[in-house]
Amino acid sequence: MEKTPITADITQKLSRFRELKNAYEKWQKETPLLEQLTNDFSEIGEYYRLQREIKKAALYADSVVIADRELQQLFNQIRSEVVSNDGDIKSEEYFWHIANKYHPDNYAIELKKIRPLVVLDDIPLEVSSLFREAREAYCLSLPAATISLCRSLIECCIVDILRRCGRITSDDDMERSGLSERIELLVGKRKTQGYDLQARIYGIISRTSEVIHANRPAEAANAFEILRDAAILAQELYGRLYRNEFK
């Protein structure tokens, strides 16, 4: 199993696929059926190649960079063609592809339920590594480790964004600030739009603390929910960073 995070910048592939998809649909609409049976769409090979590559990224990439929100919607649409909302792979081809790539079998069964991080620009290796490790822990039926790694993932995102925004500029700043101070540095104390984000951050921290400090047993269902919510939160944090909302 590969140990380095799989991060795919698929912006150009999605953009080209969208062009071919529109051209292919136009060709199907305007070309007589008899001609379609005897002559393929001129770029059908490239169309299907890009479609396969994007579907594979949707299944097991740890994070994908898609620098366009409309293309992100297209990516989600393509993923829904491969994996249902219940986490079932719709295509036998892709089921066996992922089953042959990852072992034991249970790993593949669980991995397909977890969407990759979708971001507008590159994220640090440490962030993608933590998300990968959390996915691996979940897929290997290690709920306590999954939950602990989700906590580390969110803390890592917060510190990275604070550094990028210049709110933490040195190791001394790091040592002087605890997690609560860092969250307030990021989103403030006021009950504005940032307050909802602050509540969601503390929600993840609280849920992970319940398990880490042994107040609640680690269960697979709880680990999956925390992993899913931590991934969504990480995406939103970086989305807001790229929209300059943390100035």
Residue ranges covered by each domain of the chain:
1-122, 126-247
Measured CA distances, 19 to 72, 74, 109, 121, 187 (Å) = 15, 12, 33, 22, 39
* Contact predicate 183/246, CB 8 Å: no
Q: pLDDT tens for the chain, 247 residues: list them.
A: 445 556 778 999 999 999 999 999 999 999 998 888 888 888 999 999 999 899 888 887 889 999 898 999 999 999 888 877 666 777 776 677 666 766 656 776 787 788 889 998 888 999 999 999 999 899 888 999 999 999 999 999 999 999 998 888 777 667 767 888 888 888 876 555 456 888 899 999 999 999 988 777 889 899 999 999 999 999 999 999 988 888 7
3-class SS at 137? helix
Q: Pull the structure tokens for residue 201.
A: 């951050």
* Residues 110, 87: Cα–Cα separation, whole Å: 8
* Residues 98, 126: Cα–Cα separation, whole Å: 25
Buried b (16+ CB within 10 A) or exposed e, 99-133: beebeeeebbbbbbbbbbbbbbeebeeebbbbbbb
Neighbours of 151 (CB within 10 A): 21
Strand partners, 89: 83
Domain 126-247 carries which CATH code? 1.20.120
pTM of the model: 0.82
Residue 3 confidence (pLDDT) = 55
Residue 60 confidence (pLDDT) = 78
